[in-house]
Amino acid sequence: MAVRRFRSRLVGGTATTLGEVHIRPIMGGYGYTWLRGRNAISTGVLAGYAFSSMSLADNTAAAYQSRVGVGITDADASNTFVVRPEIDFWHDINHLFGLNVNIGYMIARPDVTITTTTGIDKRTARADQFQVRVGVVYSIF
């Protein structure tokens, strides 16, 4: 699950933390692996559909009320398509241990909708995320 916090929304001329968008993707994809001795390098692209939700920060409703004079009635993020290109490096340290490094960039652009007492504010959010994973693996076989 990816969580993206938004801080750049202007409310009454002042930057205010809006809240968090939660991205829960279901993905599949294609990749290719090159083997060189004890090393394996893989590249791949994953794509799929993400279920998104929005939660407002604690002070967002108060900021809208005090600075603009409107109340917030709802906040939502639309479901969206996601794409994640990645590269993966695997090194066999010995016959029992391995080192794995994975680098990827998930692209997600849900529509964030804020419903107030005076109308609807809908904008596309850039919920992209750079991901790095490093791990040591122990083989039981």
pLDDT (tens digit per residue) in 38-49:
999 999 999 999
CATH code at 2-138: 2.40.160.20
State the CB neighbour count (10 A cutoff) for residue 130. 8
Structure tokens at 131: 């991901």
Amino acid identity at 14: T
Rounded to whole angstroms, how far apart are CA atoms 31 and 104? 13
pTM score of the predicted model: 0.77
State the CB neighbour count (10 A cutoff) for residue 84. 21
**Hey, which of 17-21, 31-35, 66-70, 71-75 has the most confident mean pLDDT?**
31-35
Residue 21 has pLDDT above 80, yes or no: yes
